[in-house]
Amino acid sequence: MCIVLNAKDVCVTGRKLTDKFYRWHTGYVGHLKERSLKDQLAKDPTEVIRKAVLRMLPNNKLRDDRDPKTKNIC
């Protein structure tokens, strides 16, 4: 299990705050949504850490079992 404290104080280098985007599709035609890292940190900083860890894991059956083992505390 991994516990992350102060997820809101994450530091990034370069222009990642404005150039890194999180994209998702709503299911409707033409509804590709995106949010910058800066906006995501303002909305929910724990989601940034969770997605970073989740995307480093291999894409297989065990991925979903390992996801809830990360506890984020702002």
Q: Identify whether the C-beta of residue 22 lies closer than 8 Å to the C-beta of residue 40.
A: yes
Q: Which has the minimum average pLDDT: 2-11, 36-45, 60-69?
A: 60-69
Q: What is the pTM of this model?
A: 0.80
Q: Identify whether the C-beta of residue 41 lies closer than 8 Å to the C-beta of residue 48.
A: yes
Tell me the two tokens of residue 50: 């969770």
What domains are there in the chain, each with its CATH number?
Answer: 2-73 (3.90.1180.10)
Q: What tens digit of pLDDT does each residue of 30-53 get?
A: 999 999 999 999 999 989 998 998
